[in-house]
Amino acid sequence: MENRGGKVQKIKIFLRVFLSVSAFLSWGNLFLPLQNSAQGAQKDIPFFHSVSPGESLQGIARRYLAFTEVLTIGDLVGKIKDLNGIKGSVIRPNQRLLIPVSRSTPIEARTVIKPANYEARGIYVNRYSMACKKMIRMVDRLNALGGNTVVLDGKDMTGKLSYPSKVELAREIGADANPTVTSPSRLFHYLHKRELHVCVRLVVFCDPLLASARPELALRLPGSGKPWMENGKAAWVNPGDPIVQNYNLDIAKEVAQFGADEIQFDYIRFPTTDNPKRVLPLSEGVEVPRHEIITDFLIKARQALDPYSVLLSIDVFGVIAWGLQEDIQITGQKIDELGRHCDIISPMIYPSHFYGPFRGIHNPADEPFLVVSETSKRFASSLQDSAVTIRPWIQAFPFGTKKFDEEYLIDQLRALNQSNSRGWLLWSAGNSYDVAWKALEGWNREKPQESKNDAGGQSFAP
C-alpha cells in the first residue's frame, strides 16, 4: 500500500509540473508577437489565442493583422476559420484558436531601390480601391498580364489622405480622417511580395480641404486679393507659400518612410482657368514667374527626398510638349527645367484632352496613335539634354470618343513602342480596367512582332 501511495503521489507531482509547463507555454505564445524571431520572418509561427468572453473573430483578426502576411481583416478571419475548422462565426470563451502569425513584430515595408529608367508598366489605384478585394483582383490581373507597377493615392484632389498621418497640419485640418488604409507600410509590403513597384501619387497644389480650412493659404487673384475660385469654391492653395510647400514635403517624406519606391507629384502647377499674362506676387511689390515657383518647389522636393532613396516623378500636361509660352505662363510647367530635378516625367497623353481642332486634327480623341506618337516625340526632343525618363500616362477611359475599345489602347501602346518613352501607366479614375485587360492580352500577343503604324499617314500641323 505504501509503494502504491508513493506512485500516486509521484503521478500527481508529474501532472502538476506538466500543467504548469503547459500553462507557461500557452502564456508564452500569447506574447509571441512581441518577441523577436528570425524564423517568424520566413513562415507562419505556431500560435494559439485563448478566446476571452465577448471576443469576435473580427476583433481577434484585427488584433493580429499587423503580425501576419494577410492583407485584409476579412481574409484573416477566413484563414482563422480554415485553420480551426470553424464553419460559422460563433466562438466560445476559452476556445483556443490557431492564428497564422508570421512575424514577431508588425510588418513594415522597405523601399526597393530601382534605376530611374525602370520600365514601369502599371495602373492607377484610387484610395477607395486600396487594400481591399477589388485591389487584389486588379493586382492579380496586372501580374498575369505582365504589369509590374501600381500608382496608389496618397493624397487625392479632394485634399484627403488615404492613411493616418503624423503630419501636424494634416491632423489639424482632418486630412487623414476616415483613412481607407490603416497601415500603408503593410500594404506596400504586400505589393512588394507581389513583385510590384509601389508609386504613391500626391496631388500637390489642388487642395480644396486645405484651402477651406486655412483660407490664408488659398491661392488669390493678383490685385484684388480675392480667393481663386473654381466651380464656385476655393480649390487651389498658393504654390509659392512656404507653409503649403512644407506641408506637401512633409507628407512626401512620411510616405517615403513607409517604404514606397516612388513619390509622384500630380497637380504640380497652377490652375488653367486664368489669364496667362498674370503672375503671382509672393510679397508686396515682388512678382515671380510661375514656372520659377513650380521649379523651385521641385528642387526642394528633390533635396528633401534624397535621404530616402525613392524615385521622384511628376505628372505634366501632354500639351506642354509643344513648349508654348502661353501654356508655360498659365501652368508654370517649364518642361526642360523640371526635367533637371526629377527622375521621371509622366506626361498625361490622353487623346481626349487634346481638344479639337488641334494642329490640323479635327478630333484628336479619335486619333490615339497619332496623338501619343507625336506627343512622345516632342517630349523626347524637349528633354534630349536631360537624363530624365519619360513614362507616359495613357488613356484607359472612354471620355471624348465613341471608338473606345481594346484597339484604342493598343494603338497607344504601339505608339509608345516606337518612341523613346520607357514604360507606361494606365489611367482610369474609377479603376474600371476591363477594356484595358483585354487590350493587354492583345498587346502581349502582338508585342514580339513589328509594331504597326495605324496613323493612316496623318500628322500634326507644325
What per-residue confidence (pLDDT) applies to 286? 65
Alpha carbon dihedral 252, 426, 141, 164, in 10-degree steps, equals: 20
With respect to residue 133, please indicate whether it lies within any of the assigned structural domains.
Answer: yes
With respect to residue 297, please indicate whether it lies within any of the assigned structural domains.
Answer: yes
What per-residue confidence (pLDDT) applies to 406? 97
With respect to residue 16, please indicate whether it lies within any of the assigned structural domains.
Answer: no
What per-residue confidence (pLDDT) applies to 159? 98
Distance (Å) of CA 198 to CA 153, 172, 369: 11, 28, 28
Statement to judge: residues 253 and 338 lie in one domain? yes
Alpha carbon distance 163, 309 (integer Å): 22
Statement to judge: residues 218 and 165 lie in one domain? yes
What per-residue confidence (pLDDT) applies to 429? 97
User: How is residue 349 annotated by DSSP?
Assistant: E
What per-residue confidence (pLDDT) applies to 198? 98
With respect to residue 18, please indicate whether it lies within any of the assigned structural domains.
Answer: no
Q: How far is CA 102 from the centre of its chain?
A: 25
Statement to judge: residues 369 and 301 lie in one domain? yes
Length of the chain: 462
Alpha carbon distance 213, 225 (integer Å): 18
Contact indicator for 196, 139 with CB cutoff of 8 Å = yes
Contact indicator for 61, 86 with CB cutoff of 8 Å = no
Statement to judge: residues 197 and 66 lie in one domain? no
With respect to residue 116, please indicate whether it lies within any of the assigned structural domains.
Answer: no
Q: How far is CA 412 from the centre of its chain?
A: 23
Contact indicator for 394, 436 with CB cutoff of 8 Å = no
- Domain of 52, CATH number, reads 3.10.350.10
With respect to residue 408, please indicate whether it lies within any of the assigned structural domains.
Answer: yes
The residue type at 37: S
The residues, ordered by sequence, that sit 6+ positions from 425 with a Cβ below 8 Å of its Cβ are: 120, 122, 123, 124, 149, 151, 346, 391, 392, 393, 394
Statement to judge: residues 89 and 129 lie in one domain? no
What per-residue confidence (pLDDT) applies to 275? 53
For Cα atoms 27, 29, 33, give the angle at the middle one, nearest 5 degrees. Answer: 120
In the numeric block, which cell numbers belong to residue 61?
A: 483578426
What per-residue confidence (pLDDT) applies to 251? 98
Alpha carbon distance 445, 406 (integer Å): 13
Alpha carbon distance 80, 61 (integer Å): 8
At 244, give phi and psi (nearest 5°): -65, -45
At 153, give phi and psi (nearest 5°): -75, 120
Contact indicator for 313, 262 with CB cutoff of 8 Å = yes
Alpha carbon distance 163, 183 (integer Å): 7
Statement to judge: residues 239 and 319 lie in one domain? yes
Number of domains in the chain: 2
Alpha carbon distance 415, 418 (integer Å): 5
b/e string for 118-127 if b means 16 or more Cβ within 10 A? bebbbbbbbb
Statement to judge: residues 306 and 378 lie in one domain? yes
Statement to judge: residues 94 and 226 lie in one domain? no
Express each pLDDT in 41-67 by its tens digit.
446 676 899 999 999 999 999 999 989
In the numeric block, which cell numbers belong to residue 71?
A: 492583407
The parts of the chain modelled with pLDDT lower than 70 are 1-44, 46, 274-286, 448-462
Alpha carbon distance 445, 314 (integer Å): 31
How many percent of the chain have pLDDT more than 90?
A: 70
| C-alpha radius of gyration, the chain, whole number | 28
Statement to judge: residues 97 and 147 lie in one domain? no
Distance (Å) of CA 268 to CA 49, 255, 291: 49, 17, 10
Contact indicator for 346, 315 with CB cutoff of 8 Å = yes
Alpha carbon distance 340, 385 (integer Å): 9
Contact indicator for 205, 234 with CB cutoff of 8 Å = no
The stretches of 85-163 forming alpha helices (DSSP H) are: 133-144
Statement to judge: residues 373 and 296 lie in one domain? yes
3-state secondary structure of 196: coil
E strand or H helix at 18: helix 2-30
Choose among 230, 241, 248: nearest CA to 175: 248
In the numeric block, which cell numbers belong to residue 87?
A: 464553419
Statement to judge: residues 60 and 176 lie in one domain? no
At 345, give phi and psi (nearest 5°): -115, 125
Residue range of the domain that includes 255? 121-446
With respect to residue 13, please indicate whether it lies within any of the assigned structural domains.
Answer: no
Statement to judge: residues 88 and 142 lie in one domain? no
With respect to residue 230, please indicate whether it lies within any of the assigned structural domains.
Answer: yes
Contact indicator for 95, 50 with CB cutoff of 8 Å = yes
- Domain of 282, CATH number, reads 3.20.20.80
